[in-house]
């Protein structure tokens, strides 16, 4: 952390009475970004800047000039946002692990199994099929699929769950 950020982190918040959100942002955003990166290390990566932006978005509805300790409030909000982000990542990771195919049901057992799997996949609606194939056969993460298909991660999760439901529904004669 450079000298200016260290000084900003330790100096008392004087002269903040009547400050606008823009002034708070200009004064504290570099410091807040450095503190978030320091506290959470590489776990946030490039999303540390997003956490800083979201912190100020959460602060916007409040009267910025009435905040007595802006650095403390900003750090508390940013810390909570970062923890929520890391928690959501962990839950998504567990969901991906749980929905991964078991090793004993690998594709390629025999010609009949391959044909049945191919028919099942081709009978899916296209929007579900694309997500399913990218996830199950190309091993892509939800984030990678979302980026490639121009979807949100939530949409990828929803479409994959619908594709899996399609796979397990009983065959109709």
pTM as predicted: 0.48
Say which range, 29-33, 69-73, 118-122, 154-158, has the weakest mean pLDDT: 118-122
Question: In this predicted structure, which of 57-61, 103-107, 115-119 has the lowest mean pLDDT?
Answer: 103-107
Q: What percent of the chain has pLDDT over 70?
A: 79
Q: Per-residue pLDDT for 80 more than 90?
A: yes
Average pLDDT, the chain: 78
> Which residue has tokens 């508390």?
76
Contact 78, 36 (CB under 8 A): yes
User: What is the C-alpha separation between 68 and 73, in angstroms, rounded?
Assistant: 9
pLDDT at 157 over 50: yes
Q: Give ranges for CATH 1.10.10.10 in the chain.
A: 105-168
Q: What integer pLDDT is reported at residue 16 of this predicted model?
A: 54
User: Where does the pLDDT of residue 115 fall: very low under 50, low under 70, confident under 90, or very high at 90 and above?
Assistant: confident
**What's the average model confidence in pLDDT over 107-117?**
73
CATH domain 105-168 topology: Arc Repressor Mutant, subunit A (1.10.10)
- Please check the confidence at residue 30 and state whether its pLDDT lies above 50: yes
Nearest to 67 by CA among 50, 76, 51, 84: 76
């Amino acid at each position: 952390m450079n000298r200016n950020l260290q000084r900003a982190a330790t100096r008392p918040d004087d002269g903040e009475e009547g400050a606008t959100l823009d002034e708070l942002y200009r004064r504290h955003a570099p410091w807040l970004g450095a503190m978030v990166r320091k506290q959470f290390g590489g776990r946030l990566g490039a999303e540390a800047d997003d956490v800083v932006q979201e912190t100020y978005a959460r602060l916007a509805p409040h009267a910025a000039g009435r905040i007595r300790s802006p650095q403390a409030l900003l750090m508390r909000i940013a810390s909570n946002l970062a923890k929520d982000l890391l928690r959501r990542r962990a839950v998504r990771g567990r969901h991906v692990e749980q929905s991964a195919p078991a090793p004993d049901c690998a594709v390629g057992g025999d010609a009949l199994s391959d044909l049945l799997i191919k028919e099942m996949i081709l009978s899916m609606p296209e929007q579900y099929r694309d997500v399913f194939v990218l996830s199950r056969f190309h091993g892509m993460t939800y984030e990678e699929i979302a980026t490639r298909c121009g979807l949100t991660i939530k949409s990828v999760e929803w479409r994959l769950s619908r594709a899996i439901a399609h796979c397990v529904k009983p065959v109709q004669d």
